Every structure is written in structure tokens, then in C-alpha cells.
Amino acid sequence: MSASGSAQDPVGLTSRFLLDPYMDWCKGENIPVHLDFGHDLLALETKRWDRYDARGCFAHTHGRGDFCANYILEVDPGKKTAPVKHLYECLFFVLSGQGSTTVWLPDGATRTFEWGPKAFFTVPLNCKYQIFNGSGQESARISCTNDAPLTINLYHNLDFVFANDFKFPERVGDSKHFDGDGDHEAFDRKGAKATINVWETNFVHDLTSFQLYELEARGKGSMNVFFQMADSTMHAHVSQIPVGRYKKAHRHAAGTHVHAIDGTGYSLLWYDGDDKFVELPWRHGIMYTPPFWMFHQHFNTSEKPARYLACAIGSARYPFISLRRVSTEGGGSTSVKQGGRQIEYEDQDNRIHRKFLEEIAKTGVKSLMGDVFDEPAIMAIPKETMVGVIDTPKLKGPAI
């Protein structure tokens, strides 16, 4: 028997090959690891997390890919986390509650900023930070999208990731970036004949009211802003779906964590050639990640615009992977007929618009897409052809 083997594994294959240091770390943290297509992050069970001296759980999805993941951090009323630092990047979206975050900067100074529901922030790479719940009655729950899978699997040494003293002063940015202020820059995506607007900061007070800019390449009335957070390699953007309309379908790499910020509606997902769609509800708290190369499309059925936050690997500044570079250059908003990743309205399945018309009829919203679709003709499609086209997965899986 090999010296590295055992009675169950005589040659030691299990212990020496096909390792996943990130998942080993998750299991070793002794908090719930939830796995599903998507999650209601406000409903997931959390438990005591010693690392943070708070509560938490991992919110893993089937489409998270190799680079990014998500965990929930929950701070009890009147409590605070332990000071922590780590060598992976993390984007924090406040699901509920109010409080503050203190960050220890590389030069020894500290910065503290206060946040409330639907705030968005990051901590510069490897800076120590501590999160405080400002309420004595309500918990604060924060969605943390991160590139820990990339970092931990690359180095597979937890002391290097969590107890590394190396400093990154260039990641801190301007002092105003902790105040909710920032710097705006426009980037011309010549491949899509469109301009994206990038806001560089470390902290956004409220994603529901933050200024967005026209980006009609994804559909008439669509609004958008990209974020460059603390010179990060992680990407984030907020998009808005207008009333009576919906976004064009598109596909991209795995690992884009889509958070519904406000509004109500649904998303449809399918692979090229599928005869059925996956449907997920749209409301604050819902998060999912479209699997690799799976088309997805977002629909607003409410009487006000609906916003969402998307976090992934590869920023506009540091695309990191070739698929993100192509998306930033405009491939994500170019028709599949032209080699891009987007389905134009005129090329989509008629069942998609039929479903939208039926759903907004329930909420009293009028369609503003009659300029694109022959809606009477679409509604005349026999109802029986629509039966069974939607598969709705559960949103909350058991802990594993």
C-alpha cells in the first residue's frame, strides 16, 4: 500500500488528484453551502461564521463557473464583524439593514462610511475591514460576490490568502471614492457603435437612484452604467428595464451574478435549440448566474422601471478573459447573425413576446413594443402551442 493511501483509497488518488481547494475551504468554514440555479438571498439560512464573528452562508449557483462565487454575510442587531482581510476581491451589495464599514488603508489611515439598503461598495484589495450593524433591532444582510474561487484555487494556501501582509496602495483610489463620489468616463465601443459610461468609485449610496445613461443597443429605453471599483479586476454594472418593455436576449461567459434591485417581473433562460425556457422570478433579493453560453432575457412587468446589478470577473479596465474583452468591445450587444451574442427582437421566438403580453396584462401595464411586434397577430397564436414551454426551477436548494 502506498504511504499516501488508505484502506478506502489504496493508491491515494482521492487525496492527490482532482482537488478543489476553494470547495474544501467552504466546507471547512462550517456554514451552510446552498446550491441551486438561483436563490432568494433574503431567505437563505445562515449560521454562525467564526471567521467574521457573524452569521453567513455560501450562495452557490450551478452557473457560477470557475472564477466567482457569492456568500451572504449577516450581522446581528447592534453587532459588528471581526476585522478581516483577504487577497480576493469582493463586491458588497446591501440587501437589508443599515450600518457602516471601517477600512484600514495601506498607509495606516482608516476610512469609515455609512450605508443603508441597496448600497454597493468594495474594499481595496487586502485591506483589513470591519462591518458594523447600525440598528439595535434589525439584522443587516449583505450579498458578497467575490473571486475567491480563482484566488484560493490558484494559491491553495489559506494563510497566503487571509494572512498576507502585502499592501496594494494603488488600489485605494481617490479619497472621495469612499464618500460616494467618483469619476466618470465614457468608453466608445466601436464594435457595437455605442458608448458605455463608467463610474470609478469604492462606494455607492443607493443603486436605485444612481444616475444611469442610455444604452439602447440592448433595447429601446434601456439604461446602464459600468462600475470600476477600487481598480478591481471584477466587473459590475447596473442596468434598467423601462416600463412596458424588456431587454434583448444575450449570452456570455459563466459567473455573472445577477441581482434584482427593484421592480418585478421575470427572466427567461435557454440554450440555443431548446424548446423550453427556464423562468426565474424578478424581485429584490433574487440572484442567479446564467450558465455559460445560455441565452437569458429580462422582463419588467411592473409600473416602474426595474433595475438589476450584475457582478462578474473581468472589468472594463482589466477584462481578464477573452470573452469579457469581446463583450466590452461590443460583442455582447451585436446580433448573433453578425457573430455577436445578442438576439434581436425580430429574430426571437414569438412565444417570448406572447408571454410578456400575458404577464403585463395581469399587472395592468401597457406594452410599448407595438412598434417592433405585430402584437395582435402574436396574441392570435393558438393557446395550446404555448402549453408547457416554461420550466420553473426552485430557488432555494438544501444545504450540502
Amino acid (1-letter code) at residue 327: S
Amino acid at 259: H
339 — alpha (psi -120 to 50), left (phi > 0) or beta?
left
Q: Decide if pLDDT at 5 tops 90.
A: no
At residue 386 the predicted structure's pLDDT band, cuts being 50, 70 and 90, is: low
pLDDT band at 331 (very low <50, low <70, confident <90, very high): confident
Q: What is the Cα 177 distance to its own chain's centre?
A: 21
List beta partners, residue 228: 200
Decide which of 346 and 194 is more confident: 346
pLDDT of 394 > 60? The answer is no
Q: What is the DSSP string of 311-374?
A: EEE--SS---SHHHHHHHHTGGGSBGGGTSSEE-GGGS-HHHHHHHHHHHHHHTPPP--TTTS-
Q: What is the pLDDT of residue 171?
A: 97
Domains and CATH numbers, the chain: 18-167 (2.60.120.10), 177-345 (2.60.120.10)
Distance CA(79)–CA(71), nearest Å, equals 19
The values of phi and psi at residue 152, to 5°, are: -70, -40
Instruction: Determine how many CB atoms are found less than 10 A away from the CB of residue 57.
Output: 24
Residue 399 is classified by DSSP as B
**How big is the CA angle at 377 (ends 372 and 381), to the nearest 5 degrees?**
125
Query: For 205-232, how does the pLDDT look when each residue is reduced to its tens digit (9 = 90+)?
Result: 999 999 999 988 888 999 999 999 999 9
**Residue 400: pLDDT band with limits 50, 70, 90:** very low
Q: 257-260 and 306-313: which strand pairing? A: antiparallel
Reported confidence tier of residue 130, pLDDT bands at 50, 70, 90: very high
Residue 235: count of CB within 10 angstroms of its CB: 27
Contact assessment for residue 309 and residue 241, using Cβ atoms and an 8 Å cutoff: no
CA-CA-CA-CA torsion sign (27, 42, 235, 169): negative
Q: In terms of Cα–Cα distance, which of 326, 147, 107, 324 is closest to 232?
A: 147
Backbone phi, psi, residue 279, to 5°? -115, 130
**What gap in Å lies between CA 202 and CA 187, rounded to an integer?**
20
Q: In the structure, what pLDDT confidence band is assigned to residue 390 with cuts at 50, 70 and 90? A: low
Rounded mean pLDDT, 16-45: 96
pLDDT at 193: 64
Q: What is the pLDDT of residue 329?
A: 85
Q: What is the mean pLDDT of residues 50-55?
A: 98
pLDDT digits (tens, 9 = 90+) for 234-276: 999 999 999 999 999 999 999 999 999 999 999 999 999 888 8
Paired residues of 133 in beta bridges: 99
* CA distance linking residue 303 with residue 363, whole number of Å: 8
Q: What CA–CA distance (Å, rounded) separates 89 from 124?
A: 8
- pLDDT per residue as tens digits for the range 345-383: 999 999 999 999 999 999 999 999 999 999 999 999 877
